A = this chain, B = another copy of it.
Amino acid sequence: MSKKIGWIGTGVMGGAMAGHLMTAGYELRVYTRSREKAVDLLDRGACWCTSPAEAADGADFVGVMVGFPEDVEEVFLGEHGVLSTVKAGAVIADFTTRSPALAQRIAAVADERGVGSLVAPVSGGDVGAQNASLSIMIGGDPAVFEQARPVFEAIGKTLVLQGPAGSGQHTKMVNQVVVASTMIGICEALIYARRAGLDPVRVLDSIGGGAATSWGLVNLYPRMLKEDYLPGFYVEHFVKDMGIALEECMRMNIELPGLKLASELYGKLVEMGHGRDGTQALILALDALNA
Residues of A within 8 A of B (CB): 123-125, 128, 134-135, 137, 157-158, 160, 162-163, 167, 170-171, 173-182, 184-186, 188-189, 191-193, 195-199, 202-203, 205-207, 209-217, 219, 233, 245, 248-249, 252-259, 261, 265, 286, 289-290
Candidates B192, B215, B252, B257; contact of A245 at CB < 8 Å: B192
| A261-B252 contact given A178-B207, A186-B178, A202-B162, CB 8 Å threshold | no
Cα of A9 to Cα of B78 in the assembled complex, Å? 69
Q: What residues on B are CB-neighbors of A216 within 8 Å?
A: 211, 214
Q: What residues on B are CB-neighbors of A189 within 8 Å?
A: 174-175, 177-178
Q: What residues on B are CB-neighbors of A257 within 8 Å?
A: 184, 188, 261, 265, 289
Candidates B124, B175, B178, B188; contact of A258 at CB < 8 Å: B188
Number of copies: 2
Name the prevailing secondary structure of the A interface residues.
helix
| A215-B206 contact given A252-B196, A254-B195, CB 8 Å threshold | no
Instruction: Given contacts A171-B203, A214-B217, list 18 more A-B pairs with CB under 8 A.
Output: A135-B207, A158-B206, A163-B197, A170-B198, A171-B198, A174-B193, A174-B212, A175-B207, A178-B188, A180-B185, A181-B185, A184-B257, A191-B256, A192-B256, A196-B252, A253-B290, A256-B286, A258-B261
Candidates B123, B157, B188, B210; contact of A177 at CB < 8 Å: B188
Let me know if A210 and B128 touch, CB within 8 A: yes
21 cross-chain CB contacts under 8 A: A123-B211, A134-B210, A135-B209, A163-B202, A167-B197, A167-B198, A170-B197, A173-B192, A177-B185, A178-B186, A178-B188, A178-B217, A181-B181, A181-B185, A185-B258, A195-B254, A211-B216, A213-B214, A213-B215, A253-B290, A255-B289
